[in-house]
Amino acid sequence: MSLIQEDLSQLLLQFCEPESALLQRIDRETNLKVLMPRMLSGHYQGRVLSMLSKLVNPRRILEIGTFTGYATLCLAEGLTDDGILYTLDINEELEDRVREYFEEAGYTGSIQYILGDASKSLSEIDETFDLVFIDADKKNNGTYYDLVFDRLRPGGLIIVDNVLWSGKVLTNQQDKDTRNISAFNDKIAADPRIEKLILPVRDGLFIIRKK
């Protein structure tokens, strides 16, 4: 999914913070034991998410799409001392693995891991968020964006993953998944309530700031 050549990717890793031993293990075990391991954020994107979270210093984070918890732990690095990160996922098969990682990281008190349909789970969370990361089923990016927007504080960030879709958004003959992502990108580009840019990190991160 990387949009840059491998040797340059390796160079970038030399100039960013290292992964913790736990994050390295999550990466390794995800690739060895979990289906579709490419869904994991990985070292460089994880450090980008960590840096953005630390810049915002959020008290409340929402993540839609936990997978094996790699990005969750990166985002949690920026939480305030009394902060809470809500992470929503539908895959019950990964629950034991993910909860073990969160416990080992020492975040069991500050990460609320909620399984079920994200739209329903959101309706049961009464919070205003400082930072939102959307990395779930891509066809619902626009739905999740609409659901969280009014619950994001002014100046808060929404980050959406995979918005370049391995470069397929450039093609004229687009499949259904690519059309959904292109439609979402157009929706964000036309929204006057925000400031936005796409970072060409891995598969594309849309960084959206609420005015």
Model confidence band, residue 172 (pLDDT cutoffs 50, 70, 90): confident
pLDDT over 80 (residue 2): no
The pLDDT tens digits for 42-53 are: 999 999 999 999
Q: How far apart are CA 133 and CA 63, in angstroms?
A: 5
- Determine which helix (DSSP H) or strand (DSSP E) holds 89, and give its type and residue range: strand 84-89
Model confidence band, residue 108 (pLDDT cutoffs 50, 70, 90): confident
> What DSSP string describes 165-189?
GGGGGG-SS--HHHHHHHHHHHHHH
Q: How much is the pLDDT for 205?
A: 97
Residue with token string 């995979």 = 162
Question: Helix (H, G, I), strand (E, B), or coil: what is residue 200?
Answer: coil
Q: What is the mean pLDDT of residues 101-110?
A: 95
Q: How far apart are CA 66 and CA 89, in angstroms?
A: 5
Q: How many CB atoms lie within 10 A of CB 151?
A: 16
pLDDT over 90 (residue 125): yes
Q: Is residue 148 part of a domain?
A: yes
Of 122, 110, 104, 206, give the one whose Cα is nearest residue 165. Answer: 206
Question: CA separation (Å) from 128 to 4, 57, 93, 154?
Answer: 36, 14, 29, 10
**Burial annotation 38-56 (CB, 10 A radius, 16+ → b, else e):** ebbbbbbbbbbbbebbeeb
Q: How far apart are CA 79 and CA 47, in angstroms?
A: 15
Express as a percent the part of the chain with pLDDT over 90: 91
Angle among Cα 4, 10, 14 to the nearest 5 degrees reads 130
Model confidence band, residue 6 (pLDDT cutoffs 50, 70, 90): confident
State the total domains in the chain. Answer: 1
Q: Is residue 126 part of a domain?
A: yes
Q: How much is the pLDDT for 115?
A: 98
CATH value at residue 72: 3.40.50.150
Q: Is residue 193 part of a domain?
A: yes
The range of the structural domain enclosing residue 129 comes to 6-210
Model confidence band, residue 5 (pLDDT cutoffs 50, 70, 90): confident
Q: Is residue 21 part of a domain?
A: yes
Angle among Cα 116, 79, 82 to the nearest 5 degrees reads 90
Q: Is residue 1 part of a domain?
A: no
pLDDT over 90 (residue 198): yes
Question: CA separation (Å) from 140 to 73, 97, 143?
Answer: 23, 26, 5
Q: How much is the pLDDT for 9?
A: 87
Q: Is residue 139 part of a domain?
A: yes
Q: Are the C-beta atoms of 85 and 79 separated by less than 8 Å?
A: yes
The pLDDT tens digits for 200-210 are: 999 999 999 99
